Chain A
Amino acid sequence: MKERLRNIRNRHHWWPLVLLGAGWFCVPLFANSYWTDVANFFGIYMLLGLSLNIIVGYAGMFNLGHAAFYAVGAYTTAIINTRFGIPLLVLMPIAALTAAGFAALITRPVLHLRGDYLCIVTIGFGEIVRIALINNPFGLTGGPNGVLGIDRPALFGFTFYQPGHFFYLIWVIVILVMFGMRRLENSRLGRAWNYVREDELAAEAMGIDATNMKLLAFILGAGLAGIAGTLYAGKMTVIAPESFGFWESVVMFAIVVLGGPGSIPGVVVGTFGMFVLPEIFRGFSSARMLVFGAAMMLMMIFRPQGLWPSQRVLRVRQAEGLESQGSAAGRPA
């Protein structure tokens, strides 16, 4: 009986989502190319948000240098494509692997650092990558001008070049990734991350290799950011270091925290708040960023748990709250 009830509830739960998704995929049929492009970048930022969500939300580590992995993905794609003409969609897994490998290499020695120390180290990695891109090592990255003339992605002879084409390419990937994340969240790995985030020592005591789990979070997060980098390179056909600066990392970080760390719908609303809303208010031009900063503060003050917090995180927080109330009332802890 209970099982059936849950099934019914789940079915109810899914219908609006499917309808919403179907409606969303009709957007390019009605929207002009400007708004379709806004929707495209909405998708790219969502991929970045989902990827950072693994590191910040699931595994609970500070990362204010996520743009570095995004940059590695984008530049790997751009450099190999412009030099050897390998098609973009073939490069996508290569970019993901390069970004993941890069993450494994640089984060492995610093995983033992505690929260805020890890924060400055990731900022440091982000800056080192940006400075390296500007300084054009071995003539690879094209310096401040970046890499020009990247091919458009193509599939079975069909080239994606209009905003509407990109919309379907990007959003099919976003939906797939969201589905994958949903599965990942409840997998053994996802649960292990939750454990490490809430109590690393207890997790270790239960036989979870916390260092490996953290490393895996960085590897998977970076790999996904690399895929977003390929999409960005293909969409823009020209990339430059300034697109991968510190404030880019800040936006990604804010997407995760604003929506609610560890929550997939949270990333959707977080990206909407951090990217789409500012886009809508572009008319206010100069004061826009002022309002943006104020809104970031206000959101945090009024919704510290995020706009759409993860149920699992909430449950843990509630349990902790009850526990401290209990001990305050003199009950045995």
Chain B
Amino acid sequence: MQEFLQQLVNGLTMGSVYALVALGYTMVYGILKLINFAHGELFMLGGFFGLTWLTASAFSGLLKSPLLGLLVLFLLVMAMVAVIGVLLDRVAYKPLRRSPRLTAVVSALGASIFLQNAVMLVFGSGYLVFPDVARDIYWMVGGVKITLMRVIIFLVAVCFMVGLYLLVQKTQLGAAMRAASLDHDTSRLMGIDVDKIIMLVFVIGPALGAAAGLMVGLYYRQINFAMGWTYGIRAFTAAIMGGIGNIPGAMIGGLLLGIIETLGAGYISATWKDAISFAILIFILIWRPTGLLGERVADKV
């Protein structure tokens, strides 16, 4: 039981990271019907930018007060990656808005390869090590070890998710986003600046992904140029599991995938864990073809 609870805690931590990254996939998909294959790379950039700032000498003073330091660090990294996200849209996706779907997918894959190799050229292909930030602080709750980093990851993720949910559901801007995801042309007629909304999506999604990348770096204390693909594909799986285009779906899918993965690794086989996740995804899709919370779309006649 204790081991099970421990796995559950680990799963929730991983799951909240996946959920944050999955939000980026699902938001872009919701508005552009495009799988942003380069999103995993933005997540990875979050880790690399974070490491760069952490090791920069100017930053060490701020880390004397860890909370403020971390806050500034998160904001900086998220802003930087958001800029890259908007640039990515401008360069790789915007010229292809009216092109066939396959074309945009290949462009996204090209962008992914480009970003991956750009990071590899700048930072090298080995693993880079993060400085130790609050890793040894933990509590034992009923025999379950809960580290501070796990709590931070979970809380930060939940805050972002609740914030995003409120933004999308309760504000006028959110209403505009929801309208634009339904129908671009009609939204324009209603006075919504769709291009601005798309830009906003490419700010929020990459910023959340960057926060996740930074947290993974802080927690595992090592990052690599290829990590964007491994995390990206899992987050994409999570987004699909929940029903892509659906924001609560991405959150639930992420948490679910994290738990499935840790339980699968713990109780079945660690080397098969990705295969287990994919197999469960496929079974979910056979049972519910548009994911857990996805709408059932009838074919137009």
A binds B: yes
B163 to chain A, nearest CB (A): 27
Interface string of A276-302 (1 = CB under 8 A from B): 000000000011011011111101110
Tell me which residues across on chain A come within 8 A of B272, comparing CB atoms.
Answer: 131, 135
Collect the chain B residues with CB atoms within 8 Å of residue A296's CB: 106-107, 109-110, 113-114
- Please indicate which of the listed interface residues B103, B233, B297 has the most CB atoms of chain A within 10 Å of its own CB: B103
- The answer to whether B95 touches A301, judged by C-beta atoms less than 8 angstroms apart, is yes
Q: How many residues of A contact B (CB 8 A)?
A: 46
Give 1 or 0 for each of A231-263: 1 = CB within 8 Å of chain B CB: 000000000000000100010011001100100
Q: Do residues B279 and A128 form an inter-chain contact, with CB atoms below 8 A?
A: yes
Can you pick out 23 interface pairs between chain A and chain B where the beta carbons lie within 8 Å of each other? A62-B102, A110-B282, A114-B297, A116-B29, A116-B240, A117-B285, A119-B35, A121-B285, A124-B237, A124-B279, A127-B274, A127-B275, A135-B272, A246-B233, A290-B114, A290-B121, A292-B113, A294-B114, A296-B106, A296-B113, A297-B110, A300-B107, A304-B103
Q: Which of A56, A127, A250 contacts B102 (CB 8 A)?
A: A56
Q: Please, what's the 1-or-0 string for B87-126, where 1 marks a CB less than 8 Å from any CB in chain A?
A: 0000110011001111111110111111111101100000
User: Would A116 and B35 be within 8 Å (CB), given that A304-B99, A304-B100 are in contact?
Assistant: yes
Confirm or deny: A112 has a beta carbon within 8 angstroms of a beta carbon on chain B: yes
List of A residues within 8 angstroms of B154 by Cβ: none
Give B contacts to A, CB under 8 Å.
29, 33, 35, 91-92, 95-96, 99-107, 109-118, 120-121, 229, 233, 236-237, 240, 244, 269, 271-272, 274-275, 278-279, 281-282, 285-286, 289-291, 297, 299-301
User: Would A305 and B100 count as touching, CB distance under 8 A?
Assistant: yes
Residue pair B96, A301 in contact (C-beta under 8 Å): yes
126-146 of chain A: CB within 8 A of chain B: 127-128, 131-132, 134-135
Is the beta-carbon distance between A293 and B111 smaller than 8 angstroms?
Answer: yes
Interfacial chain A residues near B271, Cβ < 8 Å: 131, 134-135
Q: Which of A110, A120, A290 contacts B117 (CB 8 A)?
A: A290
Q: Is A157 an interface residue (CB 8 A)?
A: no
With A300-B103, A304-B99, A305-B100 as contacts: A123 and B286 at CB distance below 8 Å: no
The winner among A135, A286, A292, A294 for most chain B CB atoms within 10 A is: A294
CB distance from B270 to the nearest CB of A (A): 10
Closest CB of chain B to A141's CB: distance in Å? 13
CA distance A261 to B100 in the complex (A): 10
| Bound complex: CA A109 to CA B300 (Å) | 23
The distance from the CB of B31 to the nearest CB of chain A, in whole angstroms, is 14
Identify whether the interface residues of B are mostly helix, strand, loop, or mixed: helix
Among residues of B, the one whose C-beta sits closest to the C-beta of A57 is: B102
Q: Which residue of B lies closest to A294 (CB)?
A: B114
Please state if A254 and B275 are interface contacts (CB–CB under 8 Å).
no
Residues of B within 8 A of A200 (CB): 299
Residue pairs across A and B with CB atoms within 8 Å: the count is 136
Q: A114-B289, A116-B29, A116-B35 are in contact. Are A295 and B229 (CB under 8 A)?
A: no
Cβ of A131 and Cβ of B297 under 8 Å apart? Answer: no
| Residues of chain B contacted by A90 (CB below 8 angstroms) | none
Q: What's the nearest-Cβ distance from chain A to residue B245, in Å? A: 9
B299 and A124 within 8 A (CB) = no
Tell whether, in the assembled complex, residue A300 and residue B29 are in contact, meaning their CB atoms are under 8 Å apart. Answer: no
Q: Which of B95, B107, B289 contacts A117 (CB 8 A)?
A: B289
The answer, yes or no, to whether A113 is at the interface (CB within 8 Å) is yes
Q: How far is the CA of A113 from the CA of B102 in the complex (A)?
A: 17
Contact of A115 with B117 in the complex, beta carbons under 8 Å: no
- A201 CB–B CB distance under 8 Å: yes
Complex partner residue of B112 from A56, A114, A293, A304, CB under 8 angstroms: A293
| Set of chain A residues within 8 Å of B274, measured between Cβ atoms | 127, 131
Residues of A within 8 A of B114 (CB): 290, 293-294, 296-297
Residue of B35, B102, B274 with highest tally of chain A CB at under 10 A: B102
| A253-275 contact mask (Cβ, 8 Å, vs B): 1 or 0 | 11001100100000000000000
What chain A residues lie within 8 Å of B282 (beta carbons)? 109-110, 121, 124-125
Check if B121 sits within 8 Å of A287, measured CB to CB. yes
B107-A297 in contact (CB<8A): yes
- For the complex of A and B, the 10 pairs showing the least CB-CB separation, nearest first, are A296-B110, A293-B114, A293-B113, A124-B278, A304-B99, A300-B107, A297-B110, A290-B117, A131-B275, A289-B117
Closest to A258 in B: B106
